[in-house]
Chains A and B, each alone.
Chain A
Amino acid sequence: MLNKVVETFEKAVADVPDGAVIMIGNFAGPGGTPFYLIRALCQQGAKELTIIANTAGGIGLTLDFDDHRILFENRQVKKVIASFPFSTSPSRPSPAEKQILAGEVELEILPQGTLAERIRAGGAGIPAFYTPTGFGTVIEDGKETRDFDGRPCLLELALKADYAFVRAYKADTMGNLVYRGTQRQFNPIMATAARVTIAEVDEIVDAGELDPEVIITPGIYVNRMVKVTEDPSFPRNLDRVFWAKRT
């Protein structure tokens, strides 16, 4: 019988090999970040990873919490594809920033909409698409261009991953996911674009308990699910008052 529920985060990420390409749901705050999967991958230790995420972690926009920053701290990352990779505070450079500037980590920086659409295209079987965004800027470098209705556009290629780590609110046992508020961000598109999608969720309910009309990520995209058991010591530095709001 179909069973996607995995008991522990450790088991859920156990097969991630060195050199894997991993998408991680993430934006400018802690909401929608799969903290527990990230921590498990940090403990698992796979190296030479390519991380695809909006930020490179540790940007400290709101709260100085643990996110995929810890994968950089642990020297597990070879390359990062992101739109917002650097700390907004020059006095607090992120581990990724230091490693990028030292030439230890390769950076591919993209406009956020191009990043999102490349991921969507990857999941939708569209190998490439044209977008006006970036023409006449550094983003154009090396890319094919073509005019549509007199407007110059860049050819951008789809992005796919070996694994997607996503955060959702509720799952049912079929793997259908619903999200909460702006937690959604990159998570639903990343879930479609990876060979193995692992969802970290607050609650897992029986099939039939989620209203089919409100499901955002259809279960066929989700391979593994792990339910979060709140760990009061983690993520470090995340204000517990705000974290507690979600439950």
Chain B
Amino acid sequence: MKERLSREVVAMRIAKELFDGAVVNLGIGLPTLVSSFVPEGMTVIYHTENGALGFGPVVTAEDMEEKADIDLVNASGQYVTPLPGMCFFHHADSFAMIRGGHIDITILGVLEVSEKGDLANWMFPGRGVGNIGGGMDLAFNAKKVIAATEHTTKDGKPKIVSKCSVPLTAPECVDLIVTDVAVIEVTGEGLLLREVAPGWTAEEVQDLTEPKLLIDSDLTEIEL
């Protein structure tokens, strides 16, 4: 088995998509890691569904006693820290920001993503139930949707599929897929393989992907 990128490296690659002043909403899991890799000197304004903008990093275990405040949490219920310029608002305003197109980038986890950019990520695998939460509004309405995921399931099945087999979060919403072996852009013509992990070939990535990939003429190795 070829070596795949760690979750941290995937998060570092996604962080390259951020820009100065970007308003960003991070989903639960791997996406949350991205905030650790924002380039120095760049201001990223984080949005959370429960009504805050411009807050700082998650409170670490060592700082819990000192800094945890039940009235300062992100959408995962994690304690976050205040930053100068932070502001609060209610839930309807929070989703007016999302629905109104004021969120530049959202980074969401994946159960399946299709060749058209359909995203499925809300139904728990094998439980027949799930939580929609804020992910559906984000997937439909953020200006750019980045899907962050392992390329295959724990059983080695492709997560990038021709057609999603589980209930959709949103159809044709994903712009960019960043996995532990590749960076793939969703285009009108199909999925365009733009970058591969060091040591991987386009054919090897294709073998782990259900739909046919288009290969970028400028195919490069993922750089951080």
Q: Which residues of A contact B (CB under 8 A)?
A: 27-32, 54, 61-62, 83-86, 88, 90, 97, 100-101, 109-114, 116-117, 119-120, 131-139, 179-189, 216, 241-243, 245-246
Q: Is B98 an interface residue (CB 8 A)?
A: yes
A120-B92, A184-B91 known, 20 other contacts, Cβ within 8 Å: A28-B75, A29-B73, A30-B70, A31-B73, A62-B73, A83-B131, A83-B134, A86-B131, A101-B128, A117-B96, A133-B140, A133-B141, A136-B168, A137-B168, A139-B132, A181-B72, A182-B88, A183-B71, A185-B50, A187-B90
Pairwise interchain contact A182-B73, C-beta atoms closer than 8 A: yes
* Nearest chain B CB to A236 CB, angstrom units: 15
Pairwise interchain contact B99-A131, C-beta atoms closer than 8 A: yes
Instruction: Say what secondary structure dominates the interface of chain A.
Output: loop
A30 partner residues in chain B, CB cutoff 8 A: 70
Which of these, A61, A97, A243, contacts B76 with CB under 8 Å?
A61
B68 partner residues in chain A, CB cutoff 8 A: 241-242, 245
Sorted nearest first, the 6 A-B pairs with minimum C-beta distance are A113-B95, A28-B77, A181-B71, A113-B137, A61-B77, A111-B136
Q: Is B37 an interface residue (CB 8 A)?
A: no
Contact status of A114 and B137, CB under 8 A, knowing A137-B168, A182-B71: yes
The contact sample of 20 A-B pairs, CB cut-off 8 A, is A27-B50, A28-B77, A31-B72, A54-B91, A61-B77, A62-B73, A62-B78, A85-B131, A112-B132, A112-B136, A113-B98, A113-B99, A113-B137, A132-B141, A133-B99, A135-B171, A139-B132, A182-B48, A184-B88, A246-B69
A182 partner residues in chain B, CB cutoff 8 A: 48, 50-52, 71-73, 88
B128 partner residues in chain A, CB cutoff 8 A: 101
Alpha-carbon distance A116/B73, docked complex (angstroms): 18
Alpha-carbon distance A120/B127, docked complex (angstroms): 32
Pairwise interchain contact A117-B51, C-beta atoms closer than 8 A: no
A188 partner residues in chain B, CB cutoff 8 A: 90
A101 partner residues in chain B, CB cutoff 8 A: 128-129
Q: Which residue of A lies closest to B55 (CB)?
A: A182
Which of these, B65, B69, B134, B167, contacts A113 with CB under 8 Å?
B134
Pairwise interchain contact A28-B137, C-beta atoms closer than 8 A: no
B140 partner residues in chain A, CB cutoff 8 A: 132-135
* Nearest chain A CB to B16 CB, angstrom units: 29
Q: Is B188 an interface residue (CB 8 A)?
A: no
| Chain A CB within 10 A, most for which of B89, B94, B95, B96 | B95
Pairwise interchain contact B124-A86, C-beta atoms closer than 8 A: yes
